Amino acid sequence: MKILVIGSGGREHALVWKIAQSPRVSAIFCAPGNAGIESLARCVPLAADDIAGLKAFALSEKIDLTVVGPEGALALGIADEFRKAKLRIFGPTRGAAQIEASKSFAKDLMVRARIPTAASRTFEDVTQALAYLERHPLPVVVKADGLAQGKGVVVATTTAQAREAVTDMLGNQSFGAAGRRVVIEEFLDGEEVTIMAFTDGKAVVPMVAAQDHKRVGDGDTGPNTGGMGAYAPAPLATPALRSMVLQQVFRPVVEALLQVGSPFYGVLYAGLMIVCGQPYVLEFNARFGDPETQVVLPLLKTDLVEVMEAVVEHRLDQLDVEWHDRTAVCVVLTSAGYPGPYQTGQPIAGSALPSSSQETMVFHAGTKRQGSEIVTAGGRVLGVTGIGSRLVEARERAYRAVRAISFEGCHFRTDIANRALGPAPERG
């Protein structure tokens, strides 16, 4: 099989790495890829949102299966265009991808399907939104309606913070089109967990649960980011909780999407808040999470290509998806200043650590090759994943590898997996 992976981040590196392990794969292409991916796949200089160019490439190369990483391409309808051209693609249609591309669409769908979620209101008018805030208890959550790369969420503890967030999004259009509408939501006090699931529009197969770390600083301080690290399996997701999520979240939302004429094919991501043992949906994503993919895929025992084919061919119920009884911890290394302005072009030392080790993987995110060097090319630069039979072992391996990597301004959290284990090793 010839497979095309679309995207250029750590998630896509993890996807390429896992796909390369399948004996059924003869060639892998990645568009546009990065400096780490190029050792496993042929990188193609096509942007992830160049749908016409990607479709032409897939047709000319006779690609057997295309795998979409980033949400932007899905929201633009890449799956629809590929299917029209009789190209097999792993990812939902534009209509189904609205579950991530529009928080108001997702909220309406959850209410109709009686899926537990925080109470909310959606606004387009800044004056009406500000008036509503005056009556809303604190803390309160303000979200940009559209795609904002994980950064369009403000948890406001004061009315002034909430007003600033609303004014910034609706009035100043700080997130562009993504902030033309805002969702104002009640604050849920609990613990977060992520569960992703494969679905072919009817059957649902949950993956092992992961816990992401969104805030940029230790102790969950500072602004939200696209994700600073993750670990899996998350002990919070007991068998009883996973069963509850399957029955109360995944099955109802897959059925609801089917009923509105947008069956979901691909990976459905549920970001959950667990409050007194009850799961509430914070958000749905229409694809693999990042960095959750970097800890979940190393634990997948079944051939990923077989799973994706079962989804595309609507026979997921016929496949037994198995997982390794191991643990994984991923620590994300970022450029100084992220998620705000940051510099790129810094040479990276130590990033050539083995990416095929049974114990440690270095997944490239924002990197590029510049002459003989690999340099930083984004906010999130690398995701370093450690694998172990126990969580403490996986974390130690991840941080040991992190300490072997350096670039100017390198930042990372030192407390990944603390909620499950306690303090991590000191930064070296």
pLDDT digit string (tens) for 275-303?
999 999 999 999 999 999 999 999 999 99
The CATH number of the structural domain formed by 327-421 is 3.90.600.10
What residue ranges do the domains of the chain occupy? 2-91, 119-186, 191-318, 327-421
Structure tokens given for 262: 């947008």
- Domain 191-318 sits in CATH at 3.30.470.20
Total-model pTM: 0.93
**Predicted pLDDT at 426:** 55
**CATH code that applies to domain 119-186:** 3.30.1490.20
The values of phi and psi at residue 42, to 5°, are -85, 115
Distance CA 402, CA 395 (A): 10
pLDDT band at 404 (very low <50, low <70, confident <90, very high): very high
Q: Quickly tell me which residue has 């284990």 as its tokens.
A: 421
Q: Which of 327, 397, 330, 387 is nearest to 364 (CA)?
A: 330
CB atoms within 10 A of CB 341: 9
Tell me the CA distances in angstroms from 26 to 1, 3, 41, 214, 379, one per residue in order. 5, 8, 11, 37, 33
Q: What is the mean pLDDT of residues 86-114?
A: 96
Question: Which uninterrupted H or E stretch holds 10?
Answer: helix 10-19
Q: What SS3 class is residue 232?
A: strand
3-state DSSP helix/strand/coil percent for the chain, to nearest 5? 30, 30, 40
> Do the domains at 2-91 and 119-186 have one common CATH topology?
no
Topology, domain 2-91: Rossmann fold (3.40.50)
Which two structure tokens, joined as six digits, stand for 421? 């284990």
For residue 272, list its beta bridge partners: 193, 281
pLDDT over 90 (residue 224): no
For all residues of the chain together, what is the average pLDDT?
Answer: 94
Q: Which residues contact 160 (CB under 8 A, 6 or more apart)?
A: none
Q: How would you write 125-181 as a 3-class SS string?
A: CHHHHHHHHHHCCCCEEEEECCCCCCCCEEEECCHHHHHHHHHHHHHCCCCHHHHCC
User: Which residues are registered as beta bridge partners of 5?
Assistant: 30, 67
Cα-based angle 286, 327, 238 (whole degrees, multiple of 5): 70
- What's residue 361's pLDDT? 95
What is the pLDDT at residue 423?
A: 67
Give 319-352 pLDDT, tens digit per residue: 999 999 999 999 999 999 999 999 999 999 986 6
pLDDT higher for 115 or 223? 115
Residue 418 has a pLDDT of 93
pLDDT tens column, 237-246: 999 999 999 9
Q: What are the backbone angles phi and psi of residue 197, rounded to the nearest 5°? A: -145, 140
- Tokens representing 425 are 């090793």
**DSSP per residue over 242-295, as a string?**
HHHHIIIIIHHHHHHHHHTT----EEEEEEEEEETTEEEEEEEESS--TTTHHH
Is the four-CA dihedral 183, 186, 192, 196 of positive or negative sign?
Answer: negative
Instruction: Please give the distance of CA 206 from its chain centroid, rounded to a whole number.
Output: 15
